[in-house]
Amino acid sequence: MGDGGDIRTTGLEREERQAKKGRRFITPLITDGGQAAGEGHDSPRPGYYSYGGYPSGADYDASGGELDVRAMVRLFLAYKWVAAGIMTAALVIGLLRAFLATPVYEARASVFIDRGASRAADKDVSGVAAQLKDEIYFASQLDILQSRQVAQMAFDSLGLRDIPPFKGAADPLRSFRDHIKIERRRDSAIFDIKAESPDKQIVASWANAVADSYVKFVLDLNVQFIKDANGLIEQQAKELQQKYSSTKQEYGDRLAKEGIYYPQNQKQILDQRITSLEARKSDLLIKKQDVAATVAELAAVRDGRKDPLAAASVRNDPVVQGLAQQYSLLEKELSKMLAQFTPQYPPYVKKSAELADLKERIRNQALLILSAQEGQLGALGSEEASLDNELQQLKGEAIQVTSSASSLEGQGSGVDALQKYVAIMSEKMQQMDVASKLMESNVRVIDRAVTPRRPSKPNKRMTVLLSLLLGAMASAGTILGIQYFDTRVKETGALERATGVPIIGVVPSYNQENRGLVVEAFQTLRTSLLYASDHKRRNVLMVTSSASGEGKSACVTNLGIVLADCGDSVLIIDGDLRKSSIHKFFKLEPKKGLSEYLAQPGAKFEDFLVATSYPRLILMPGGGVPANPPALFSMAAFRDFVLAARSKFDWVLIDTPPILAVTDANIIGEAADLSLVVVSYNMSRLPLVRESLEQLGRQDHEVAGIVMNRYEWRNRYYYNHYHYYQGGKAKEGGLAKKLAVRFSQTGRGSGAA
């Protein structure tokens, strides 16, 4: 029996219980290494748990956030048939493509483009500019190689218009160009012309035809250039010769008619005089502008808009400089006097008068300077008018001389035209020489295409390898996608990391092989609860889950059997009044239960308890389905019942409805010391488990831990470890058979409720 004491909880005891709930968890968790997880780890608020934020379904290393390799291997082994199917499909597709696709043959011809002759014209260009010109040149040649005109020349030379697959095509030339690929070798002047076709007998001729067409196209361009150059030379030579003859004839006729003569250097003399006068006028205008600026500045002084000393022409005057020094000294003396005396002080008044006199003298001197500058400005204006008259006369004489001496200049023009004709002839001859060099060495075919021996496409080995690689990637992506979107709980470690709540019991799926493991699991759970309850001082335990069908009722039943088998008195309260089922595990058919007790004021709970076939194990069945179960649990009678049961029994186990389905569990939790959350392996959803724990935390219900139910052991280590300590094969005692009865009645392994 449990410890005695008042069955009613005082306010102080209630506060102590709430304070104890401030611990994040108190259950010593035995790890694989045999060490116990301590009781620390305070949470920010009582009853709240900090969740790690791991994606649902993924296993991560809690220390560094890295992938758990072993968990990933187990994951891929679990979906090995999915991966095998995807990889097989990818491999089949790759094999079909590799062996059923039409083979394509490739032939290659190489063309060398020598820019030596073209670069000779750019011999003065070096460095980045020369490299840029090379790139521009080779880019233009690549465009020519890929041009429609070169392709048309090759297409016509091969006579492909009436040959399949070009015959009847909407654009035969475009179809032909689709079979041709042209690439420039990296940092090279060599261009590769590749031709592809299912017919290996014709691809070589296609590549060679394009190379030959390009050479011919460039040669035709050079020949046309030479023809154009010769035509231009002939045309300009004729025009210059005609102009020279006409000018010479006109000069002779006019000289004979007018009989005038001017010295040959007369126009040059006039030009020099005009240039000299223009220079004098330019200097005069500059000086006039300076004087005008000074006059404008002094006019502002005269009008009182500017301080005389602020004008540079006044400030630089020797007379003003002396007066300015006296003015500065008087200002300093007045400042000193004003610091000691009032403005009515006689010496101060005297000095002020002297200062005003100096200021007036400076202004008068500025007016004198203004008068002088105005006189100078007038003189400069007169000089400018005189220069304008003289320039006008000289320009008239120059025009007359130029008009009269046009015959002589015509003769000079004829000589210049003859010289220009000779220069153009020489330049065009050089261009013709360069063009002839381009025709000889600019473009050459260095490698002609030959008939290929094997197809270039498809590459069977590469296709198969790529299919396997893509299949592996698709398999991994599919499995990771399934795992990412699958929120079912599958790993104990991932569940602990995601919720921050320890797993204090792992109950395997029941079968004939592991009945002993089930017993050990519940005995381990009992040990954890013993520490969690401070050795049964907090002995009221509420068992709930996030959803129905996770086996919480079966866990409550079997836990009660294990606790009673160890000598403790146990009361199981079926708090799921909507779907009570615990009495079915014991093959009982009670006529009344908890709902009837709570509905009868003043009734004694002992009259509603039902003895089971197990000593020290008592059941309070659920009874009939009430109209409003939350109202019954909110009554003081339920809390009094739980307090009384606390003192009479070593353990009080309360089975509740799923916490997310109805509010019953939240109300029942107010009367319980600890809460236990049952999670079903590969069934419970991690977001729902998190929400359940958060809801318990918001109600300040202390969670002792999580029980992982129906766990499937995927490795033999646990069995070997258990068999080692059992001395061989697991022994099945009477308790194992009792639990077997309980599990066999559930119909779903470790319990269906």
The DSSP annotation for 699-742 comes to TTPPEEEEEEEEE---SSHHHHHHHHHHTSSPP--HHHHHHHHH
- Of 237-246, 357-366, 707-716, 718-727, the least confident: 718-727
Q: Position 549: which residue type? A: G
Stretch 40-67: mean pLDDT, rounded?
37
Give the model's confidence band at 667: pLDDT under 50 very low, under 70 low, under 90 confident, else very high. Answer: very high
Q: Residue 137: is its pLDDT beyond 90?
A: no
95: confidence class by pLDDT, cuts 50, 70, 90: confident
Report d(CA 224, CA 210) in Å as an integer.
21
Contacts with 680 (C-beta within 8 Å, 6 or more apart), sequence order: 489, 545, 549, 550, 551, 709, 710
- Please tell me the predicted confidence (pLDDT) of residue 654: 95
Between residues 238 and 305, the one the model is more confident about: 305
Confidence (pLDDT) at 57: 41
At residue 265 the predicted structure's pLDDT band, cuts being 50, 70 and 90, is low
**Tokens, residue 551:** 């086996």
pLDDT digits (tens, 9 = 90+) for 398-443: 776 666 655 555 555 555 655 566 566 666 656 665 555 544 447 8
| Confidence (pLDDT) at 639 | 92
Residue 1 has pLDDT above 60, yes or no: no
Residue 169, pLDDT score: 80
Query: What pLDDT does residue 562 have?
Result: 92
Tell me the three state secondary structure of residue 443: strand
Mean pLDDT for all residues in the chain: 76
Q: Give the pLDDT score at 716.
A: 44
pTM of the model: 0.49
Band of residue 542 on the pLDDT scale cut at 50, 70, 90: very high
Q: How far apart are CA 26 and CA 20, in angstroms?
A: 9
Give percent of the chain above pLDDT 90: 17
pLDDT of residue 269 exceeding 90, the answer is no
Read off the pLDDT of each residue in 141-148 and give the average, rounded to a whole number: 89
| Amino acid (1-letter code) at residue 172 | P
- At 573 the three-state DSSP class reads strand
pLDDT of the residue at 426: 60
The CATH class given to the 102-255+408-457 domain equals: alpha beta
Taking the C-alpha atoms of residue 182 and residue 270, their distance in angstroms, rounded to an integer, is 69
Give the contacts of 22 (CB within 8 A, at least 6 positions apart): 42, 43, 45, 46, 47
Calculate mean pLDDT across residues 216-224.
80
pLDDT in tens, 607-658: 999 999 999 999 999 988 888 899 988 999 999 999 999 999 999 999 999 9
- Angle at alpha carbon of residue 215, lines to 210 and 219, rounded to 5°: 145
What lies within 8 Å, CB to CB, of 46 at 6+ separation is 18, 19, 21, 22, 700
Contacts of 494 (CB under 8 A, 6+ apart): 54, 57, 58, 59, 60, 71
Sorted by sequence, the CB contacts under 8 Å of residue 247 that are 6+ apart come out as: 410, 411, 413, 414, 417
Give the Cβ contact number of residue 374 at 10 Å.
15
- Looking at residues 52-73, what average pLDDT do you find? 49
Question: In the chain, where are the structural domains located?
Answer: 78-101+458-484, 102-255+408-457, 266-404, 502-746
216 pLDDT tier (thresholds 50, 70, 90) = confident
Torsion region of 657: left, alpha or beta (phi above 0 gives left; psi -120 to 50 gives alpha) = beta
Is pLDDT at 573 greater than 90 in this prediction?
A: yes
pLDDT of residue 737: 62
The contacts found for 245-252 with CB under 8 angstroms, 24 or more apart, are 247/410, 247/411, 247/413, 247/414, 247/417, 248/410, 248/411, 248/414, 250/407, 250/410, 251/407, 251/408, 251/410, 251/411
Which class would CATH give 502-746? alpha beta
CA nearest neighbour of 414 among 251, 600, 649, 542 = 251
Which tops the pLDDT comparison, 33 or 686? 686
Taking the mean position of all CA atoms in its chain, how far away is CA 174? 40
Give percent above pLDDT 70 in the chain: 73
Instruction: Flag whether pLDDT at 376 surpasses 70.
Output: yes
What is the distance between the alpha carbons of residues 753 and 748, in angstroms, rounded to a whole number?
A: 9
Which range, 263-272, 322-331, 350-359, 586-595, is most confident? 586-595
Q: Give the pLDDT confidence score for residue 340 in this predicted structure.
A: 82
pLDDT computed for residue 324 by the predictor:
81
Of residues 209 and 114, more confidently modeled: 209
